[in-house]
């Protein structure tokens, strides 16, 4: 069924990528459609089970999945369950509220009016990070690497990591803590060894191997950036389809020490296209971003175009804004070593082939 639908859409819309969702399928479904974890129950146990189910789907070759936020059947989710589910879904491949109740009630973002602003904020954060999530989707389609995975998959040599933990990675740059137990707001987690981790909420760097305990409140979203990475985000936070995706912000997370570069030589692989044409060579731009050490507390972020759109496929000029920003304690400099500031914006009418930014400074708060 999925293959037949895929073939029919390809025939009806030549040159456009089909977008299908199927609730079931056999091995190979990932070639034609995404899926979700079925008619889940509105319960805290199911919510936690769904996180594990999603990671297992990714490990089994099905990277595009999701869960009905708040549960599809069962009682109306209480305030805690709805917010925890929204927090968890921000970096997952799919973020959808979908429900059926015998009394006709519906799970919606405004189910608890006093929490609407929190849920709206979670949705805005997801919109912001969709550029990164899109890069993860491309990587999954090309290499089979899950978009959301157990931390142990990214760090297989760290035998201290628990395989049954709900801590997880979104790609190789963002670490997401497991949700608290029901009725609690405290989380404990162990950071993977040998990597420095940046907490953007509190502007603190933590050493790998540290065990953290912290409060995870209902109205916030917690995650950690891997030092030595670059995170693509959308600068204009608007609903997809209502505006041009022409403004990006790259969150530069400099290395805290040389080992951050050694363990992850490529800081970012970023692609851009029209979002609907067949994703084939010549239909997208791609850049590789790498750090090099220039001196003490001084790095150069080198950005190199590795793929470009063929002239025959390039129906529009590359009119985009790229903004780069660094954490507190760092400054950006241009190729002539002139200080730019904590952020810089480039207006491009052509896709950049090479770009270099000098990053100087240190993290202001290093734990321990």
What CATH number did the domain enclosing 233 receive?
A: 2.60.40.1180
- 9 within 8 A of 18, measured Cβ to Cβ: yes
Confidence grade of residue 313 (pLDDT, cut at 50, 70, 90): low
- Full domain range(s) for residue 260: 229-361
Are residues 166 and 183 located together in one domain of the fold?
Answer: yes
At 249 the pLDDT is 98
How many independent structural domains does the chain possess?
3
d(CA 239, CA 219): 21
Are residues 135 and 10 located together in one domain of the fold?
Answer: yes
169 found inside a domain:
yes
Upper half-sphere CA count for residue 43 (Cβ side, 13 Å): 8
* Domain end position, chosen among 93, 122, 142: 142
Residue range 5-36, pLDDT digits in tens: 999 999 999 999 999 999 888 889 999 999 99
At 337 the pLDDT is 83
Residue range 266-285, pLDDT digits in tens: 999 999 999 899 999 999 99
The size of the chain, in residues, is: 368
- 333 within 8 A of 357, measured Cβ to Cβ: yes
Are residues 98 and 56 located together in one domain of the fold?
Answer: yes
Query: Would you say the C-alpha torsion 209, 214, 219, 220 has a positive or negative sign?
Result: negative
H or E segment to which residue 87 belongs: helix 79-89
367 found inside a domain:
no
d(CA 162, CA 170): 17
Are residues 159 and 129 located together in one domain of the fold?
Answer: no
Report pTM. 0.95
CA-nearest of 245, 361, 339 to 294 is 361
Are residues 137 and 191 located together in one domain of the fold?
Answer: no
């Amino acid at each position: 069924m999925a293959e037949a639908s895929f073939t029919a859409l390809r025939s009806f819309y030549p040159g456009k990528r089909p977008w299908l969702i199927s609730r079931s399928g056999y091995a190979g479904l990932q070639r034609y459609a995404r899926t979700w974890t079925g008619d889940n129950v509105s319960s805290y146990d199911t919510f936690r089970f769904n996180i594990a189910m999603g990671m297992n789907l990714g490990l089994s070759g099905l990277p595009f999945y999701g869960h009905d936020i708040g549960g599809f059947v069962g009682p109306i989710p209480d305030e805690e369950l709805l917010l925890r589910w929204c927090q968890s879904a921000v970096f997952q491949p799919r973020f959808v509220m979908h429900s059926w109740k015998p009394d006709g009630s519906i799970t919606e973002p405004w189910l608890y009016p006093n929490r609407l602003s929190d849920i709206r904020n979670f949705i805005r954060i997801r919109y912001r990070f969709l550029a990164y999530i899109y890069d993860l989707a491309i990587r999954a389609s090309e290499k089979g690497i899950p978009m959301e995975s157990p931390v142990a998959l990214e760090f297989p040599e760290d035998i201290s990591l628990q395989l049954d933990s709900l801590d997880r990675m979104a790609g190789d740059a963002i670490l997401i803590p497991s949700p608290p137990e029901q009725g609690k707001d405290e989380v404990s987690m162990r950071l993977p060894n040998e990597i420095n981790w940046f907490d953007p909420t509190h502007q603190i760097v933590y050493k790998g191997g540290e065990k953290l305990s912290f409060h995870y409140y209902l109205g916030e979203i917690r995650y950690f950036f891997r030092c030595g990475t670059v995170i693509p985000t959308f600068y204009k936070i608007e609903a997809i389809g209502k505006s041009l995706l022409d403004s990006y912000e790259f969150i530069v997370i400099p290395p805290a020490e040389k080992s951050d570069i050694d363990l992850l030589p490529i800081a970012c692989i970023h692609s851009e296209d029209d979002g609907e044409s067949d994703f084939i060579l010549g239909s997208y731009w791609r850049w590789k971003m790498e750090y090099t050490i220039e001196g003490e507390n001084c790095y150069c972020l080198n950005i190199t175009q590795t793929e470009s759109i063929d002239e025959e496929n390039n129906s529009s000029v590359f009119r985009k804004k790229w903004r780069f920003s660094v954490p507190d304690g760092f400054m950006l400099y241009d190729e002539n070593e002139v200080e730019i500031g904590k952020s810089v914006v480039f207006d491009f009418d052509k896709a950049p082939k090479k770009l270099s930014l000098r990053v100087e400074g240190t993290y202001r708060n290093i734990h321990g």
